[in-house]
């Protein structure tokens, strides 16, 4: 639906309702959602919807981060969503992974706003539809704050890697920190280091993923002040 929705009475959605309107829809009646509302431009923002299923609205995250509550889910809707989201409507160019049980999305795309696509399977009627979503990825707010953030180093090599990758970091201040690795579902894989950090000293740790599955991992350097660096790592094969 490309135009504005002006609802004066009752609107019940049982299927897939798509709206690409860039303004704000108006509703003086009632909207009950039992299917999937694809609200691409958040045009229903401020409009009351009795959502008993799924609403897809624009989401935001950071490079290397995990987006919580990726879909606006209410109750127990009879849908299963594709575990891979894509950059194209043909669903061939992967853009990240979605965890159905956790309702989280882990992007593998760079900074900027992009349109991504994923499947929504209606388990009752046994039909699958392609849904689009607007995703904005920004640089993470990390570090000590101020000019010190530009002096912080965190990387790994090689990336992508096969079985091992060396994680390196250097901080501009003495502090305490913890280096951990999560999988694409946000589950803790390994605590690599926890302790004191000496400023301007290069720390190097080998991440051994020989027994780990192929996929995306995230290294997180958590500082004593609670601020966090994140680094996306990709295990490409088991050679």
Instruction: Convert the pLDDT of each residue in 118-177 to its tens digit.
Output: 999 989 889 999 999 999 887 554 445 554 555 678 888 888 898 999 999 888 889 999
Could you tell me if 228 and 193 lie in one domain?
A: yes
Could you tell me if 162 and 216 lie in one domain?
A: yes
> Does the structure show a pLDDT above 90 at 229?
no
Q: For residue 67, is it within any domain?
A: yes
CATH number, domain with residue 165: 2.60.40.2550
Which tens digit of pLDDT belongs to each residue from 15-57? 888 876 655 555 556 678 787 888 777 766 656 677 777 888 8
Could you tell me if 196 and 122 lie in one domain?
A: no
Q: For residue 1, is it within any domain?
A: no
Could you tell me if 68 and 133 lie in one domain?
A: yes
User: What is the model's pLDDT at position 66?
Assistant: 81
Tell me the pairing of strands 79-81 and 112-122: antiparallel
User: What is the model's pLDDT at position 166?
Assistant: 93
Which residue has tokens 């607007």? 134
Q: Which two tokens stand for residue 203?
A: 């720390």
Could you tell me if 10 and 68 lie in one domain?
A: yes
Mean pLDDT score of the chain, rounded to an integer?
81
Q: For residue 105, is it within any domain?
A: yes
Instruction: Give every CB contact of residue 101 below 8 A, 6+ residues apart in sequence.
Output: none
User: Domain tally for the chain?
Assistant: 2
Last residue of a domain, one of 138, 159, 185: 138
Last residue of a domain, one of 74, 104, 138: 138
> Does the structure show a pLDDT above 90 at 85?
yes
Share of the chain above pLDDT 70, in %: 80
Which residue pairs, CB below 8 angstroms and at least 24 apart, start in 123-127?
123/78, 123/79, 123/80, 124/78
> Does the structure show a pLDDT above 80 at 182?
yes
- Is 107:61 a contact under the CB 8 Å cutoff? yes
User: What is the model's pLDDT at position 23?
Assistant: 57
Last residue of a domain, one of 111, 138, 165: 138
Q: For residue 80, is it within any domain?
A: yes
Residue 55: domain span: 6-138
User: What is the model's pLDDT at position 2?
Assistant: 47
Pick the range with the lowest mean pLDDT from 5-9, 103-107, 144-148: 144-148
Higher pLDDT, 2 or 238: 238
Distance CA 181, CA 169 (A): 14
């Amino acid at each position: 639906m490309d135009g504005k929705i002006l609802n004066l009475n009752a609107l019940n959605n049982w299927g897939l309702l798509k709206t690409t309107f860039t303004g704000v829809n108006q509703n003086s009646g009632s909207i009950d959602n039992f299917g999937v509302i694809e609200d691409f431009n958040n045009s229903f923002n401020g409009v009351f919807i009795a959502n008993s299923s799924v609403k897809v609205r624009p989401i935001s995250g950071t490079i290397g981060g995990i987006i919580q509550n990726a879909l606006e889910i209410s109750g127990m809707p009879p849908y299963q969503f594709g575990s891979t989201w894509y950059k194209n409507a043909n669903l061939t160019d992967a853009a990240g992974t979605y965890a159905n049980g956790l309702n989280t999305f882990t992007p593998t795309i760079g900074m900027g706003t992009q349109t991504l696509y994923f499947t929504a399977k209606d388990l009752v009627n046994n039909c699958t539809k392609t849904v689009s979503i607007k995703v904005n990825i920004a640089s993470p707010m990390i570090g000590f704050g101020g000019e010190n953030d530009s002096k912080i180093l965190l990387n790994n090599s090689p990336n992508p890697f096969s079985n091992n990758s060396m994680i390196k970091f250097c901080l501009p201040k003495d502090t305490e920190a913890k280096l951990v690795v999560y999988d694409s579902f946000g589950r803790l894989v390994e605590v690599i280091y926890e302790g004191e950090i000496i400023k301007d000293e290069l720390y190097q740790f080998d991440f051994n993923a020989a027994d780990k599955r192929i996929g995306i991992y995230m290294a997180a350097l958590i500082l004593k002040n609670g601020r966090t660096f994140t680094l996306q790592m990709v295990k490409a094969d088991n050679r």
